[in-house]
A and B are shown apart, each in its own frame.
Chain A
Amino acid sequence: METETQSRIPAGAAISLPSVLVVFLLLAAASYGALIWAPTEATMGMIQRIFYFHVASAWSGFIGFIMVFVGSVAYLRTRALKWDWLSVASAEVGVAFFTIVLVTGPIWAKPVWGIWWTWDARLTSSFLLWVLFVSYLILRTLVDEPERRAMVSAVFGIFAALDIPLVYFSIWWFRTQHPQPVIGDGGSLAPRMGWVLLLCWAATLGVLTLLIRIRYRLEALRSEVDGIRMNASRNS
């Protein structure tokens, strides 16, 4: 269990004020777009406006989970802990976004479908995806030694990510009752609605990037503190 004295790993710069401002402005514009600028949907009415952030959060959360896969593979190949930091940061932010998806979904479903939840394909797969990465985060809390934690969670992260398409296919064939995707098939979405959705996606992507960077830095600093503490206890 001998670890050589760790050289100082740059933890990444603190978040700059301009980048926070940009994301804040994007969020403000997206909220204005979703709540006011976009036309009110004919049959569902006002409640449909929740859809912009709902879908955008799902897309961004998805990107978070893909980054867990990237970070996990890169960690196993390089053994550089920074990839593990990226994985945990992405997993946490991805889970946060999917929590938004799972909360806004039922809020929309209750008035439109008349029920909070139905076990249809997309809902069930999102739920399962959320559970998968919550398990990933729990696994991380149960392993103390950093290298070991990075290794086992990388293995599980890869398996969980590989499971995503299988989950989707299996549940898709199993049951489908959800309104069909509105993007890409003839565009039943009004142009203005499409723009608002894109704007919302840009805003959530900005939040995703910002949060991952903050969380990554936190993890890097934590690891640095651990290193210093270990050195101190060795020298005393």
Chain B
Amino acid sequence: MSMTRAAGVILAKELRTEFRSRELLGTTLVFVLIVIVLFSFTFNPTSAESRRFGPGLLWLAFLFAGSLMLQPSFLREQTNDTLAALRLAPIDPFSILAGKMAANFLFLLLVEVLLLPVFAVLYNTAILPVLPQLLLVLALGTVGLATTGTVFSAVASQARLRELLLPLLLLPVLAPVLIASTEATIGVLRDPSELSLVWMTFLASFDVVFLTAAWMVGEYLLEE
């Protein structure tokens, strides 16, 4: 089976598992809502201020959400040792990782897109006119988040204290993504809106670097 097809099958399996229960998506959505509400107490979210701080805390909330949401990606497989079964399949080990990355990317993006209108209302920001640019920033940032997050989810699943470990590993590595996507989002929401080429290129490079790295280490990560 070709790698893309195998990854597609894994992706379909991940989506099916999640949409049967929808527990991960629901819980993460509420979690990010809580974070956004709590942030509103740390400063006065008036219009002028929120345009400066809003994007940063939105991305911080996404990062927190990612570091919690990606946890079950490999943990789920441990309950019935289903990862061993996946490993037995005659497919490239990276396709397992790639399928999971794609699934996590879609989950995260879905959460983000669902939360955008809430954010826009609560922090009084007009997002509709700049929606395409905003989605592009979200997509590029989320690829980086999902790539590193999925790999580290596999790493943390093999350690003790894994719930605490994943944020510890993930958040410092994602600092460049936080900076770049926050800056890009600020640029998009600014009046007049502009899509920063520098930060978009930077996000794309981050994605390429870590996708390649994940592809290189994938086979080691999944072996027993």
With A155-B220, A159-B213 as contacts: A128 and B158 at CB distance below 8 Å = no
Q: Are A142 and B180 in contact (CB under 8 A)?
A: no
With A170-B202, A173-B198 as contacts: A132 and B173 at CB distance below 8 Å = yes
Residues on B with C-beta less than 8 A from A162 are: 209-210, 213
Partner of A156, one of B155, B202, B209: B155
Q: Is the C-beta of B62 less than 8 angstroms from some C-beta in chain A?
A: no
Of all chain A residues, the one with the shortest Cβ separation from B214 is A159
Task: Tally chain B residues at the interface, Cβ within 8 Å.
Answer: 30
Q: Are A156 and B176 in contact (CB under 8 A)?
A: no
Q: Is the C-beta of A160 less than 8 angstroms from some C-beta in chain B?
A: yes
With A132-B172, A139-B159, A158-B213 as contacts: A174 and B221 at CB distance below 8 Å = no
Residues on A with C-beta less than 8 A from B159 are: 139, 142-143, 152
Q: How far is the CA of A148 from the CA of B156 in the complex (A)?
A: 11
Q: How far is the CA of A128 from the CA of B198 in the complex (A)?
A: 22
Q: How far is the CA of A159 from the CA of B183 in the complex (A)?
A: 23
Residues on A with C-beta less than 8 A from B162 are: 142
Q: Are A143 and B176 in contact (CB under 8 A)?
A: no
Q: How far is the CA of A169 from the CA of B177 in the complex (A)?
A: 11
Q: How far is the CA of A166 from the CA of B179 in the complex (A)?
A: 11
**C-beta contact mask, B184-213 vs A, less than 8 Å → 1, else 0?**
000000000000001100100110011001
Q: Is the C-beta of A171 less than 8 angstroms from some C-beta in chain B?
A: yes
Q: How far is the CA of A66 from the CA of B168 in the complex (A)?
A: 21
Q: Is the C-beta of B151 less than 8 angstroms from some C-beta in chain A?
A: yes
With A159-B210, A166-B209 as contacts: A128 and B172 at CB distance below 8 Å = yes
Q: Are A163 and B176 in contact (CB under 8 A)?
A: yes
With A132-B173, A162-B209, A170-B175 as contacts: A143 and B160 at CB distance below 8 Å = yes
Write the nearest CB–CB distance from B160 to chain A, whole angstroms. 5
Q: Are A169 and B158 in contact (CB under 8 A)?
A: no
With A135-B172, A142-B165, A163-B173 as contacts: A171 and B220 at CB distance below 8 Å = no
| Chain B contacts with A in 112-139, Cβ cutoff 8 A | none
Q: How far is the CA of A158 from the CA of B199 in the complex (A)?
A: 24
Considering residues A158, A162, A166, which has the most beta carbons from chain B within 10 angstroms of its beta carbon?
Answer: A166
Q: How far is the CA of A131 from the CA of B202 in the complex (A)?
A: 22
Q: Is the C-beta of B105 less than 8 angstroms from some C-beta in chain A?
A: no
Partner of A138, one of B168, B175, B199: B168
**C-beta contact mask, B148-162 vs A, less than 8 Å → 1, else 0?**
100110010011111
Residues on A with C-beta less than 8 A from B175 are: 128, 167, 170-171
Q: Is the C-beta of A214 less than 8 angstroms from some C-beta in chain B?
A: no
Q: Are A139 and B155 in contact (CB under 8 A)?
A: yes
Q: Is the C-beta of A11 less than 8 angstroms from some C-beta in chain B?
A: no
Residues on A with C-beta less than 8 A from B217 are: 76, 154-155, 158
Of all chain B residues, the one with the shortest Cβ separation from A132 is B172
With A135-B169, A152-B159, A173-B198 as contacts: A159 and B151 at CB distance below 8 Å = yes
Q: How far is the CA of A158 from the CA of B180 in the complex (A)?
A: 21
Of all chain B residues, the one with the shortest Cβ separation from A174 is B179
Q: How far is the CA of A215 from the CA of B161 in the complex (A)?
A: 26
Partner of B176, one of A142, A151, A155, A167: A167
User: Can you name 23 A-B residue pairings with CB atoms under 8 Å?
Assistant: A128-B172, A135-B172, A138-B165, A139-B168, A142-B165, A143-B158, A144-B160, A151-B220, A151-B221, A152-B158, A152-B159, A154-B220, A155-B151, A156-B152, A156-B155, A162-B210, A162-B213, A166-B176, A166-B209, A169-B202, A170-B175, A171-B176, A174-B179
The residues of B with any CB-CB pair to A shorter than 8 Å are 148, 151-152, 155, 158-162, 165, 168-169, 172-173, 175-176, 179-180, 183, 198-199, 202, 205-206, 209-210, 213, 217, 220-221
List 18 additional contacts besides A151-B221, A162-B210, A166-B206; criterion CB under 8 Å.
A76-B220, A132-B172, A138-B168, A142-B159, A143-B160, A154-B217, A155-B220, A155-B221, A156-B169, A158-B213, A159-B148, A159-B173, A159-B213, A167-B175, A167-B176, A170-B175, A170-B202, A174-B179
The 9 closest A-B pairs by CB, nearest first: A170-B176, A142-B159, A166-B176, A170-B179, A142-B160, A152-B155, A143-B159, A131-B172, A155-B217
